[in-house]
């Protein structure tokens, strides 16, 4: 780690750091982690937090042949010995006619906004007030998300079977008001990971670490201390 860059298997990534101690690798979802997000400082009181931007996201370069979820898996897998999943996607739990995951690309921005947050007027990003630099980052995030997760949309048909091979302690944290992937989807996810725990956070949507940072860090810190 040098400054705010992180070398992982020869790929240089931008990264945010907080705190000291045994490191926590914080991997983002749809968008990169905001360096000003309060949960970073709260979690940094317990451990060192290292939050990289994956290749193609934020200001991290993407190698030309790096374009599949498997590339991301191989990039980070060796670094993990505990796992906390926060409102994750990736599995199909219903029949082919039932949408388990909100289509964030083809639904109206207002629907996506209301589904993503418990209180969107308080915490949802306001694109009209963002700097040009921040808007470019958001655009790169969306472009990279399309590249990695467009087809099949946001899930891997084999993942449900692979989850049973996870042998490390695992916590799933879910926002009770998540309209992108519901808590029932989360409970189904947890049942596929042997010995995993499921924690529901009230007053939060798809991003409990943003809407309820204190409750989120309390859950994660207690899990890590055990």
CATH number, domain at 100?
3.40.50.1820
Sign of CA dihedral 10, 11, 17, 22: negative
Residue 196 CB neighbour total at 10 angstroms: 18
Q: What is the pLDDT of residue 152?
A: 87
Report the C-alpha gap between 179 and 101 in whole angstroms: 9
> Crossing angle for the helix pair 132-149 and 69-76, nearest 10 degrees?
100
pTM for the predicted model, two decimal places: 0.91
Sign of CA dihedral 118, 121, 126, 128: positive
| Owner of token pair 């998540």 | 178
- Alpha-carbon 89 to chain mean position: 9
Q: What is the pLDDT of residue 1?
A: 43
| Domain with 22 in it | 5-225
**Residues of the chain where predicted confidence (pLDDT) is lower than 50:** 1-2
Residue 53 makes CB contacts below 8 A (sequence gap 6+) with 13, 14, 15, 28, 32, 33, 59, 60
Report the number of distinct structural domains present in the chain: 1
Looking at the DSSP bridge assignments, the partners of residue 2 are 5
Whether residue 219 contacts residue 171, with contact meaning beta carbons closer than 8 Å, is answered with: yes
Whether residue 46 contacts residue 130, with contact meaning beta carbons closer than 8 Å, is answered with: no
Q: What is the pLDDT of residue 3?
A: 52
Report the C-alpha gap between 117 and 103 in whole angstroms: 15
Whether residue 9 contacts residue 75, with contact meaning beta carbons closer than 8 Å, is answered with: yes
């Amino acid at each position: 780690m040098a400054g705010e860059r992180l070398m992982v298997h020869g790929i240089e990534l931008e990264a945010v750091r907080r705190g000291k101690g045994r490191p926590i690798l914080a991997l983002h979802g749809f968008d990169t982690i905001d360096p000003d997000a309060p949960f970073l400082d709260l979690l940094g009181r317990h451990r060192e937090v290292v939050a990289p931007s994956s290749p193609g996201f934020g200001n991290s370069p993407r190698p030309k042949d790096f374009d599949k979820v498997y590339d991301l898996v191989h990039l980070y897998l060796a670094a993990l010995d505990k796992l906390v999943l926060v409102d994750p996607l990736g599995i199909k739990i219903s029949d082919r006619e039932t949408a388990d995951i909100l289509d964030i690309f083809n639904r109206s921005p207002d629907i996506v906004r209301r589904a993503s947050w418990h209180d969107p007027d308080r915490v949802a990003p306001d694109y009209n007030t963002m700097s040009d630099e921040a808007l470019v980052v958001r655009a790169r995030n969306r472009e990279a998300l399309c590249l990695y997760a467009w087809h099949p949309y946001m899930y891997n048909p084999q993942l449900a079977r692979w989850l049973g091979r996870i042998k490390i302690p695992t916590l799933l944290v879910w926002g009770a008001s998540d309209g992108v992937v519901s808590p029932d989807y989360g409970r189904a996810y947890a049942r596929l990971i042997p010995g995993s725990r499921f924690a529901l956070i009230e007053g939060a949507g798809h991003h409990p670490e943003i809407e309820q940072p204190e409750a989120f860090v309390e859950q994660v810190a207690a899990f890590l201390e055990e």
